[in-house]
Structure 1
């Protein structure tokens, strides 16, 4: 295994056209795990992985199990464990987040494969949550670490993923059972909308390194991060009641997270972000519990496949960040 260049993420370049990516990955799994533990991400370039089967084979060689029941992303055609990237307007950024960090379980590994790089833009920037934790002002860090985050989500038809697709069922009783099992509060609004409320840590300790990591989905839920036009639409539909918006976030005790705090955090992430230009066939592997990712605006066609695996549940974490405040 040979690294090329000195950029980030560390890049492994394949120089053999006949090399089977999945076999190579399995043989070098231990070495790649060491790289991920240190850097949080690694770029595999030149392995000619552009189809769902080859991508699933490569990803499956690096985890004990791939996850096939993720309701927030559509599946690739005829691929149970490979997903399409988030369907989001090309002219807007997807803000930094650790995948499913607001949920009772999340993938410890996430994989991205470039089938078609965008003609312009479209990078997948990444940020190490350990660096974010260190860079935060002490008072901000302590409050998030102590209180965690309360996420509120309304599955409003036409504005977000429907609850039927998210949960993979149209049985309300089954949804209620699952929410109760995961300590998620749920209620049915008069128009049939499902509202869920759940607490999650804002900071965790990595289960292998015991390092503190700023680990959450604040930017994808806090209303201060909405585009101006979207914010105006939400106000016209729901007024100032942010708990009625499709997504919102508060400190774990229910108090508001000031917009100024969110802007400070966004500045920290922007300062720490690393970007690279996608090439066809590139595969990026990230430790989702160390590294957050986003997506830059882009022009032209862009296709990125996604896989995730080795799920972790919140109950597996240790320390005060694993339990509600």
Structure 2
């Protein structure tokens, strides 16, 4: 491989594999041409390590980032979800536009939809002066650690599943980048019958409930949050809201019994202890296997510009 293997202080090692794998330029520094020449090797590397950080290649614009993504020749995956994002160019979007002082908790991208991306590209156009790290977390490690610490809880999940409700914002908060989209904006219809039909077709929910203030609940489950992907058991469905606050969702076992608080605390502790909090440098490109790994955004300060692209 023509790349030079690098090392970052944040990296961790899981089962003998460094996470993420960092690649630096050699004599050539044209990342686009290097990807085209070593596409298969990079794909294999991603499967082994779960994430690749390309650092020092001088990627300097959304247009150049788009060409890097296209060099891999993976199909584009349109974004669906409640987060507010702006299209920048071609298949490139802004990352979640919610204020940087807010935590965005660990999740697999679009895991609540019937179709979800297998890979995510992140690109740092402008790093934050403080905080705002992108955190990545191997989901199979979460499963292993939860089975060690909360064996009875995980066993019950396998038997009865979990049920949770996600509530959209109400009409008064439409367009609020902090709170996200209304059900009308998300499903692109004002008709409740059509909305529920679209929700059941595209979102992996089992029912919807509408409220007088214009909000609605998406009801999921009973389901097992653990999914087998790529030969590994991963914690694919979220157990917490995107802020990590249990109040963002109503969650219970599939039989209606409440979750033990210690299970939630164990899940949070495992996530923090096993995540890599990547401090961005300008021009960084991070490629993440979305089937194997969760990602999050730590609180920080403006200015910060991170762009993303999703692939099938």
Matched, 1:226 2:226: no
Greater Cα offset, 166-175 or 91-100: 166-175
Matched, 1:101 2:111: yes
2-structure distance, mates of 1:27, 1:135: 39
* Pick aligned residue for 1:156 from 147, 169, 179: 169
2-structure distance, mates of 1:178, 1:80: 26
RMSD over aligned Cα, in angstroms?
2.5
2-structure distance, mates of 1:23, 1:169: 43
Question: The residue matched to 2:46 in structure 1 has which SS?
Answer: helix
Greater Cα offset, 71-80 or 115-124: 71-80
Matched, 1:205 2:228: yes
Q: How far off its partner does 1:70 sit?
A: 2.1
Structure 1, unmatched stretches of 5+, are 232-245, 311-325
- Counterpart in the other structure of 2:237: 216
Q: Please identify which structure carries the higher helix content.
A: 1
Question: The residue matched to 1:213 in structure 2 has which SS?
Answer: strand
* Pick aligned residue for 1:10 from 5, 14, 21: 21
C-alpha change, 1:48 and 1:253, in structure 2 (3 Å) is: farther
Question: The residue matched to 1:267 in structure 2 has which SS?
Answer: helix
1-structure distance, mates of 2:191, 2:282: 41
C-alpha change, 1:73 and 1:160, in structure 2 (3 Å) is: closer
2-structure distance, mates of 1:101, 1:149: 15
- Counterpart in the other structure of 2:32: 22
Q: How far off its partner does 1:221 sit?
A: 5.8
| 1:42-90 CA distance string (max 9 Å, x none) | 1011233342222222223335311224243444345353222223332
Alignment TM-score, normalising by the size of structure 1: 0.79
Q: How far off its partner does 1:128 sit?
A: 0.7
- Counterpart in the other structure of 2:14: none
Alignment TM-score, normalising by the size of structure 2: 0.82
C-alpha change, 1:78 and 1:38, in structure 2 (3 Å) is: closer
- Counterpart in the other structure of 2:211: 189
Contact 1:71 1:165 in 2 (8 A): no
Query: Runs of 4 or more off by more than 6 Å in structure 1?
Result: none
| Equivalenced residues, count | 288
User: Where do residues 289-300 of structure 1 align in structure 2 (5 Å cutoff)?
Assistant: 289-300=291-302
Q: How far off its partner does 1:108 sit?
A: 0.9
Contact 2:59 2:65 in 1 (8 A): yes
Question: The residue matched to 1:106 in structure 2 has which SS?
Answer: coil
2-structure distance, mates of 1:109, 1:86: 17
Contact 1:73 1:84 in 2 (8 A): no
Question: The residue matched to 1:220 in structure 2 has which SS?
Answer: coil
C-alpha change, 1:298 and 1:201, in structure 2 (3 Å) is: same
Greater Cα offset, 88-97 or 113-122: 88-97
Matched, 1:87 2:109: no
Matched, 1:175 2:195: yes
C-alpha change, 1:280 and 1:260, in structure 2 (3 Å) is: same
C-alpha change, 1:198 and 1:122, in structure 2 (3 Å) is: same
2-structure distance, mates of 1:144, 1:40: 26
C-alpha change, 1:253 and 1:31, in structure 2 (3 Å) is: farther
Q: How far off its partner does 1:11 sit?
A: 0.6
2-structure distance, mates of 1:41, 1:125: 11
Contact 1:153 1:197 in 2 (8 A): yes
